[in-house]
């Protein structure tokens, strides 16, 4: 069951009103730390979301072409696509008009809890783990 259609999106945190942003450039070696940035129209804040089946997606950054990835310690970053790597697969669950993104491998949820930091955290019912996802 797909929650979102394949396409390009901007992803904004409900708590901070900041967007998921990949500050890396094409010359930076992966992994590249992800942060929450002030809203702009640049390609670093556009994510190509593609279903891999059953409500699970990969998210590829428009600017860097790297995919959203994370580890069991809560670090969130982008990395070169590795087909089948569950650290790079995200379950997206809709809650009304909002969404939660949970790593398939670590079960940690994408969170922005202040400042510009983004991390993976134990799932809780909080705005810092909810995101507005809008098609570009």
What confidence score (pLDDT) does residue 27 get?
Answer: 66
pLDDT category of residue 76 using cuts at 50, 70 and 90: very high
Residue range 26-45: average pLDDT?
88
Other Cβ atoms closer than 10 A to 88: 25
Residue 28 has pLDDT above 90, yes or no: no
What confidence score (pLDDT) does residue 43 get?
Answer: 96
CATH of 7-135, one of 3.30.300.30, 2.80.10.50, 2.30.110.10, 3.40.640.10: 2.80.10.50
Residue 2 has pLDDT above 90, yes or no: no
What confidence score (pLDDT) does residue 32 get?
Answer: 87
Residue range 69-76: average pLDDT?
95
């Amino acid at each position: 069951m797909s929650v979102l259609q394949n396409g390009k999106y901007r992803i904004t945190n409900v708590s901070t009103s900041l967007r998921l942003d990949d500050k890396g450039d094409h010359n930076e070696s992966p992994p590249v730390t992800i942060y929450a940035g002030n809203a702009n129209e640049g390609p670093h804040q556009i994510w190509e979301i593609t279903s891999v089946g059953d409500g699970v997606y990969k998210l590829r950054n428009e600017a860097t072409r790297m995919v959203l990835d994370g580890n069991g310690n809560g670090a969130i970053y982008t990395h070169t696509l590795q087909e089948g790597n569950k650290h790079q697969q995200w379950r997206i669950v809709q809650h009304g008009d909002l969404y939660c993104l949970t790593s398939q491998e670590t079960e940690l949820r994408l969170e922005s809890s202040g400042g510009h930091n983004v991390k993976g955290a134990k799932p809780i019912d909080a705005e810092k783990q909810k995101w507005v996802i809008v098609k570009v």
